[in-house]
Amino acid sequence: MTMKKAMPMLTVAALGCAAAVGAGDAGHHDVDLTRPHLDVIPRTADEARRVADVTSPATQFDEAEPFEANGGGAATVPVRNDADAFSLSSANMPFERELDFKVGNGLFRKLWVSAPSSTQVSDGLGPLYNSRGCQSCHLKDGRGHPPEGPDDDAVSMFLRVSVPAPDTADIDALDAFLLSLGDSSERTAPDPVYGGQLQDFALQGHPAEYRLGIAYDEIEVPLSGGETAMLRSPVYTAEDLGYGPLADGAMLSPRVAPQMIGLGLLEAIPAADILAQADPDDADGDGISGRAQIVWSFEFDRPMLGRFGLKAGAPTIREQSASAFAGDIGISSPIFPAPSGDCTEEQAECLAAPNGNTGTPEGTEIGTEGLDFVTFYSRNLAVPQRRDVDDPQVLRGKEMFHTVGCTGCHTPKHVTDRLGDQPEQSFQLIWPYTDLLLHDMGPGLADNRPEGRASGREWRTAPLWGIGLTEQVSGHTYYLHDGRARSLLEAVLWHGGEAEAARDAVVEMSVADRAALIRFLESL
């Protein structure tokens, strides 16, 4: 989310550590991009050796690896056969924290109302918004979907918007930091009228910003063995604009709400381990050149490693949650205290509307305590246990996944930090199948809208755990950042750029091996 809250002005010299950082992601090891105030217990030399051994790539595929079924480590929960498979708490959560999880769930499910209201702890919606509550987009904590017809709204999908930043625009703290690294990422700014994302709902008396329009073209892809696949290529339009035309050069990016499981474990992967996988110049010549996203943390007022969001635009679960409250629902928080959410100075009536900044001690619509409960809930939505890890077809599909190079981005295993204050996420062997880095996915998936260090062709590697339960939990099989893929095979075939060689190998492999690959993905 692009917020209008001004970043503090900061010179390169004021960053202190920046002078020691060279260009390229390898230099980021000299900069502390971790979460501050975290109770991390350093690994011993023996633990580091054990971690390196247990996370080494698989070399044999005739049986499952030890602990492979427990994708979330000790936090893994038994898989359910209903739509609540993504809504369970970490299996290793202390009993005394269960109530915190349930309170967080209640806030996640809450439907906010307009201000003023007699329920002061629940008012402040909008005035412009995409949803009345978190659960409305992340139904059952699962994946959103594009509208399925003229009678289906876009409640779990929206368009981000930005414009090229003028050359005369102030250099903010993040820009200064990136420039100090020699980073020449294209700078953007929110639309001067519509802000950082388009809201398709509004309170009475306020026009909504737009209506999402989607048109699809079908593309036929020949496959080996006489098979074919059909891909649908979308074109997005912002229709029925409520506040005049978009600015010249406006760039739109569609986003479908992602699933919520395992976020706390992703947050607990050591930053150094993520940065160690970055290879921005493809020094090893394997065609994969992942880059770390670097973002400015409004919570900690410093540059941090981006992990969350489809382009890794948020550094922590707490900040991502606060950002979603502001942009999606129009709810202020201690991190983003503006009561009018994504409204801009050009939307004067929106800024002047009544707000709910009377329901918390902080004078925000959700306070520190409420935001902490939502963060704890989001951090502890558990990963379900894998299915059929010893099935011969699944094992063959796993071998194909490794052989064609999918693991170049979808890193199977990590070990989390040893955390004194987060026992659920502490020192766990996890299997998320992501490196959390940015990768060029080619022109087919490009949104042509830069975000931070991410170019208009780059996306963060999506975690794959739980992907085989999408239909069970969410009632559909739509994948990728905008839900264009109607099956896992379609999602694979959309891969380009750094993943083009792997995609071509899938096209050319035998029918049996391609079916095994999909069967493996369905087991995750």
432-456 pLDDT, tens digit each: 999 999 999 999 999 999 999 999 9
Is the residue at 357 inside a domain?
yes
**pLDDT, position 113:** 96
Type of residue found at 486: R
pLDDT by residue (tens digit) across 127-175?
999 999 999 999 999 999 999 877 777 789 999 999 999 877 777 778 8
Say if 1 falls within a structural domain.
Answer: no
Q: Is residue 243 part of a domain?
A: yes
Which tokens hold the place of 361?
A: 């001690």
* Percentage of the residues of the chain whose pLDDT score is greater than 90: 85
pLDDT for the residue numbered 18? 28
Buried b (16+ CB within 10 A) or exposed e, 265-294: bbbbbbbebbbebbbbeeeeeeebbbbbbb
Residue 25: pLDDT band by 50, 70, 90 thresholds?
A: low
Residue 354 domain flag: yes
How many distinct structural domains can be found in the chain? Answer: 1
Position 17 in a domain = no
Asked whether residue 452 is domain-assigned, the answer is yes
pLDDT at 288 over 90: yes
pLDDT of residue 168: 78
48 within domain boundaries: no
Q: Find out whether 383 and 265 touch, Cβ atoms under 8 Å.
A: yes
**Is the pLDDT score of 12 beyond 80?**
no
Distance of alpha carbon 271 from alpha carbon 305, whole angstroms: 7
Q: Is the pTM of this model over 0.75?
A: yes
The predicted-structure confidence for 292-302, as pLDDT tens digits, reads as follows: 999 999 999 99
Identify which of 65, 38, 420, 470 has the alpha carbon closest to the alpha carbon of residue 267: 38
- Region 365-391 average pLDDT: 98
Which band of pLDDT confidence, cut at 50, 70 and 90, is reported for residue 30? Answer: low
Mean pLDDT, rounded, for 418-431: 97
**Structural domain that includes position 156:** 53-523
Please report whether residue 475 resides in a domain: yes
- Decide if 327 contacts 313 (C-beta within 8 A): no
Does residue 5 register a pLDDT over 70? no
Q: What is the pLDDT of residue 244?
A: 98
pLDDT single digits (tens) 322-346? 999 999 999 999 999 999 999 999 9
Query: Which of 232, 274, 228 is closest to 33 using CA atoms?
Result: 274
From the DSSP assignment, how many helices (H) and strands (E) are in the chain? Answer: 14, 15
39-92 tens-digit pLDDT: 999 999 999 999 999 999 999 999 999 999 999 999 999 999 999 999 999 999
What is the CB neighbour count within 10 angstroms for residue 345? Answer: 11
